[in-house]
Each structure stands twice: as structure tokens, then as C-alpha cells.
Structure 1
Amino acid sequence: MYQFSKAFKNNQLLNAKYTDMMKKEPKNDWYGYGIQFAGAKGSGIYGHSGGHYGTGAEWRIFEKQNYTVILLTNKDLDQGFFDARFFIEKTISGTTPKLNNYFFTKEVVKTCLDQGLQQAKKVIKNSSFKLSEINLNAKGYEMIKRGFYKKAIDLLTLEVLYFPKSYDAYDSLGEAYMNDGQKKKAIENYQKSLDLNPENTNAVEKLKKLRSV
């Protein structure tokens, strides 16, 4: 991956014109011509990542600082991969609101798991940082996979409280309640998810299953 990223950067895979085209950051998106852009707008951080359960990989070029970073892991992405990614980004290119929100969300998650939902709400109330929905959701799903359904419910309750227009948040909370055997609340949350997004086929299938029991 390092050799690939070096070859890309040095115009050995494409000529300079097309390499520059791929490296051009879109105005209103984080994904260009097969390239992901990280950091703040104009930060010059680009590359690509990929992962699934039990694996994660990434190459990133920090063009302004002249660094290339390769990350590989054989664990789920939220088991250290994201921490390493954002720590490296913060160390090389400095902090951004996105990074602040990521580490703040980690603090909220830890508080919720260790001290409960109400204490986590207090941490949020007393902070100027924002929650990262994707990281909150990922931790909630980790709790579901590990069988800690009550903890998952607490985390995903935070998600629906602070992201009330997110159909995915309600869908996830519905799954946590379903796994915990709380059928009525599972139905309520899947239905709310479906109300927000009528094309959520997962909610349709789960509601059909829950209502048939």
C-alpha cells in the first residue's frame, strides 16, 4: 500500500494531469474520483480506506506535511483503528472540529457505559463540542454484537435524543430493544424510523416479523 500511494503521488500510475484530477477535492463532498478526502477543507489529506468486521486498512497522504501513513488492523474498525487514524491526523496536521467531536464522543460513550445515561447527558450539556453520530452508532452496535443490550439501548437512546431526524438512529435502537426482548419498544422505534424514511426496507421487514409473533 505504501508503494502504491508513493507511485500515485509521484505520477507513476497516471500522468500529472489525471493524478491532479483525482487529487482535486470536491466542493461539497468528501469523495472525489476514487479518492477520499479527510480533515478540514483544503487540508491536502487524501487516500482511501476500507474495512468490515474484523479488518480495516487505509492509505493516506498528508500532502502539505509530506507524510504518507498506512494503517492495517485485524480488528473491527472501532477497536483502535479510528483512534489511531484520528490521533495521527491530529498529530500531523492539527486539530479540527471533526476530531474534537470524535474524541468528545468517546468521552460521552465511556461515561454512558461506566456511569449511566443520565451522567452522559450531563457531560453533553456542559460541553460546547458536538456528538459524532456515526461513532455513537458504531459503539451501540458493538454492544449489541457483544450481547450487552441494556448498554446498547442507553447509547442508542442518546443517539435518537440528539439526532431526532435520523431514521438510522431509530432503526438501531429498535434492533437493541428487539434483541433485549422489549417487543413494544422495538416496534415503536422501527415505526419511527420508517416514518422518517419510508424506503427503509430493514424496518419494514423487522416490523412485519415483530407483529407476526
Structure 2
Amino acid sequence: MKTFIYAVCILYFCPLNLFGQTTAMQLYFDELAKLKQHNGNLLLAENEKVIMNFTSGFADFQKNQKNTVNSSFNLASISKIITATAVLQLRDKGKLQLDEKVNKYLSDFPYKEITIRHLLTHTSGLPDLELFEDLVKQYPDTIVSNQNVIPELQKWTHGLYFKPGDEFRYCNTEYNVLALLIEKVSHKSFSDYLQKYIFDPAEMKDAYVNNPFFFNKKRNFVIAIPQMKPHPGYDSTFVPTDSISRFKYLTYNNNGTVGQANIICTTKDLLRFDIAYFKGKLLSENSIKEATMPIKLNNSKIYYHPNMDTMPGNGTMCYGLGWEIFDQPEFGKSVGHGGFKFGLATFYLHNLEKNQTIIGFDNTAGSEFGRFIFSSELLLNGLPPMQFRTQKSLVTLYGTHLVNAGANHAASIFNAHKADTAYYLNEGEMNDLGYNLFYMSSFNGHKELALEVFKLATFIFPDSFNTYDSFGQLLKDSNHTQDAILMYQKSLELNPDNKDGKRILSELLQINQLEKDTLK
């Protein structure tokens, strides 16, 4: 049975001097609707006025339920901005200070050197989702909640990854602890606090904190369900991500924590937050300014991330107090945050100088999502958008033949079409194909095919440290220790700062030495 994705775009007309801009925007979103490359919602605003409100695809493919402009989405990591805002509100009220130790308020928190500021800025050194692995192994059907966080930290035997403040390491656990802190200081549940002091003042009518332990009366709205293809690269059917067993740890076991994610709202609600925040309805002027200033590490240097979040445009990115901070040559300073869960991509950007806002959700985490976001930014500034990529995926062509006809035939097909402009080649897709075949498939010979993928990838992307790193991981997990060592060494030649690669290489070298000693 065929299903068809529909798309609707609503244009809010602007003053005459923006007529050319809105016409170009309308043409772009008309074409996006026609191509059916996006599944979700995009909202563009300037000076608090909605210019474009676009919706496309399905909230639920299996139920044939379409997205609407009022569909609700999990904000994923955009939620961190709202959690940080709650913390700063409490600071504005004099109930806490950012440089105070966390265990002043949460006495069972085991790391006495960590401050509230460290948590806000991802500089604490705490473990991320690996914190709950032992718990879930022992109780496979448990749903982790914030109440598990401190007990698991007390049992964590590996210590902090670094001295607090020395490094930046993105960590969801920090925002779980911040949610606990908000509850302790405010004497309200995290959900009730946000409702009273953020959602209501900002008039976020449909926003709520998702809690799998309690029924929420607001769940009667259209909820966009994260959806994925079970086997990207050789499977084209979308299913709910939480129905795919290999994602159980993230979609089921880790679905009960809050602070880092799990705030649900619409694009219009997030725009209401944006307006209230930058009008000073939620925080003092000084707190707004501080939240959107780059953090400095203990060495007094600003940490700059090597890539922009989500967008392919030029610029630098650093972190503030819950906010990502972007400095783009064409557009100036913006702040916002990206979010990702398997089957879901979210992004929010506010240009501080131009008072422009872009909000994007995609409940299939489509590969073109970042290009649509950046094109929206270009259009808001009267510039031509990025060209649509209508080519077919060479990786999918290769992967389909690999699974159905074997490595030699697939390699022949790849080489026959690699110069064909009807196809595009994406390193990330190649990486996903290899990982999916190795770890997430179950047919006979799937691991050998995965190794073939990365073997080919090293020839196609010889300058990519990640390709060698990924190939090394698969070789390691196939017990090809010496070959894995060679791949990790090559990866580290290309990226000497890859700390996980260094750690794994050290482990492999120790294993290799033990094997040699055993043979003596």
C-alpha cells in the first residue's frame, strides 16, 4: 500500500519592503512541500511576528496521522535552555548562587567540588548515559528516573572524567541533577515549577513535561512520534523508534529522566518562550546577558566547538549557561540549541542582533534537516537558500545490493555509479550503514558485510579520522585486535585530540601485549 506525505505551508504576509523576501520564501517552501523531503514543522519569525509556519509529513506513519502546525514535539536538548532558565530564576530570587557547591542543596550528591555553574556549562566531568548501564543490565525493564541519578552517581566507580572546569564535555546527567536542584530549592516538582514560572508567564498553552510514570491530560494533542527506518541503507519503511529493540536503552529505559530533555511543545509555544525570554518576562536583564555569554574554562580560555550545531553554515560555536552561542560572519551573534534523539531532530535559533527566530522539528531526523534550517536563515536575511539535493543516495544503492547480492556485486554497482550525478555520496550514511549491519542486523553474514562497508569507506574517505575510528571499533569487536590497532593509529594521526580513540587504542595495545605474552 502506498502512503503519501503531504505538506502545508502558511504564509503570514509582511510589510511591502519584505515582499521580495517573502516571495522567495514562499517559493522555497512550496518546493520543499513538493519534494517531500521534510517530516515535521518549521517556523520562521522576525520581530516576534511569524513569517512562515510550515508543516509536513506524518506524526505517525503507521496510523496515517499527519503532522499539523499544532503538532507537539519532544524538544530533546532544547529543553536544557528551559531548565537553565529555571535555575537562573532561582538565582534572581536569591535562593541560590551559581558558584555554590551542588551538595550544599543536594547533600547526597557525591562530588563536593562540582558547582551549579559546572552543571549548567557541561564542565563538571560527570558521566553521561553510561551512568545507568549497570542498572539497566541488572533490571532490563526499568525506566530510569531522576530519582536514580544520585544513587547511581554514588555507585559510580570511575570517578570524574576531569577536574571540574578544566574541560567541556556535553553531559545530560548534569541537567538531571539541575532538575533535582530546582525541586529541592523551590519545594515544587520540576513539572509544577516550569508550569507556574515559565509555561504560564510565557503563555505556552500546550507545553508540558513528559512523564511516563503519570498520565498527562494534555496528551490528547497530536504528538509527533520519533520514527526511523529500522535498517538505514537497505530498508525504507518508517516505524516508531521505540518499537526497534536495539534502541530500548534510550527510548524506553532512559525515557523517564527530565531536565535534559522531555519537554513537549509546539513550534508556536517555543516562539512564545522566545518572545517572553528576550522581553525580560522570565529573567533579569543581567541573567539574560550572562546566560548568553561564552563560558571560560579554568585556564581562562573560551571553549569553541569544532562544528556548528545542525547548520552547515560558516561560523563558530561555544556554550553559555544552557545556550549554544553562534557567531556567523554573515549574520552576527545568535543563540539557541539543537536536540537529537533517535528518530527526532530539533533546532532553535534566536539572532540577537536581528531579532529573528528559527524553530525546526523533524520526527524522522531527516538528513537534510540542517540544510533546511540554514536555508531558512538565509531566506530571513534576503539571501538565496541552499539548493535542494534531489539526487538519490549512492550509499542506499550500494547497501541494498550488498545485502541482496553480496560484496563483490555491490562494489561493482558502487564503482559504476560513483561518477553519476544522479547520486550523492554521504560519509555519515556510509557510517550508519556499517554500524547498522554490524550491530543492528541479524541475518547470516551481516557482520562480514559491515566490515566490507568500512573497508570501502577507508578508500572513499581517506582523510576522515571517524571512518578509521569506526572501522577500528568493528574490527575490535570482531576480535581482529592487530587490525583494529592499525585503524585506531591511523585515526589518531588524523585527529590526535580523539580522547576515546586514545583510550581504546591503549586498551587494544594492552590486549595485544597479553596475547603475545601468552604465546611465549
TM-score (norm 1): 0.61
The corresponding residue for 1:208 is 510
Residues 394 and 423 of structure 2 are in contact (CA less than 8 Å); yes or no, is this contact kept in structure 1? no
Question: Larger helix proportion, structure 1 or 2?
Answer: 1
Matched, 1:146 2:444: no
Matched, 1:119 2:409: no
CA RMSD after TM alignment:
4.7
Residues 49 and 56 of structure 1 are in contact (CA less than 8 Å); yes or no, is this contact kept in structure 2? no
The corresponding residue for 2:386 is 96
The corresponding residue for 1:60 is 348
Counterparts of residues 37-56 of structure 1 (less than 5 Å): 42=331, 47-51=336-340, 54=342, 56=344
Matched, 1:29 2:354: no
Larger radius of gyration: 2
Structure 2: distance between partners of 1:125 and 1:84: 22
Q: State the identity as a percent.
A: 19
Cα separation, partners in 2 of 1:61 and 1:194, compared to 1, 3 Å: closer
Deviation string, structure 1 residues 25-49 (Cα, Å, up to 9, x no partner): 9974244653265999549986312
Query: Displacement, 1:202?
Result: 1.9
Matched, 1:69 2:355: no
Matched, 1:82 2:366: yes
Equivalent position to 1:4, from 273, 276, 281: 273
Query: Displacement, 1:207?
Result: 3.7
Deviation string, structure 1 residues 46-76 (Cα, Å, up to 9, x no partner): 6312335x47552324868x66435375xxx
Residues 325 and 335 of structure 2 are in contact (CA less than 8 Å); yes or no, is this contact kept in structure 1? yes
Query: Displacement, 1:125?
Result: 3.0
Structure 2: distance between partners of 1:67 and 1:28: 17
Equivalent position to 2:469, from 171, 177, 182: 171
Structure 2: distance between partners of 1:46 and 1:143: 38
Q: Which stretch of the first structure deviates more once superposed, 201-210 or 26-35? A: 26-35
Residues 471 and 484 of structure 2 are in contact (CA less than 8 Å); yes or no, is this contact kept in structure 1? yes
Task: Give the SS at the match of 2:365.
Answer: helix
Equivalent position to 1:155, from 444, 450, 453: 453
The corresponding residue for 1:76 is none
Cα separation, partners in 2 of 1:142 and 1:37, compared to 1, 3 Å: farther
Structure 2: distance between partners of 1:186 and 1:119: 28
Structure 1: distance between partners of 2:397 and 2:431: 15
Query: Displacement, 1:170?
Result: 0.9
Q: Which stretch of the first structure deviates more once superposed, 83-92 or 194-203? A: 83-92
Residues 371 and 386 of structure 2 are in contact (CA less than 8 Å); yes or no, is this contact kept in structure 1? no
The alignment of Structure 1 onto Structure 2 pairs a total of residues equal to: 200
Query: Displacement, 1:173?
Result: 0.5
Whose relative contact order is higher, 1 or 2, with alpha carbons under 8 Å and at least 6 apart?
2
Task: Give the SS at the match of 2:366.
Answer: helix
Cα separation, partners in 2 of 1:187 and 1:136, compared to 1, 3 Å: same
Structure 2: distance between partners of 1:192 and 1:127: 31
Structure 2: distance between partners of 1:136 and 1:170: 12
Query: Displacement, 1:171?
Result: 1.6
Structure 2: distance between partners of 1:161 and 1:4: 47
Cα separation, partners in 2 of 1:89 and 1:179, compared to 1, 3 Å: same
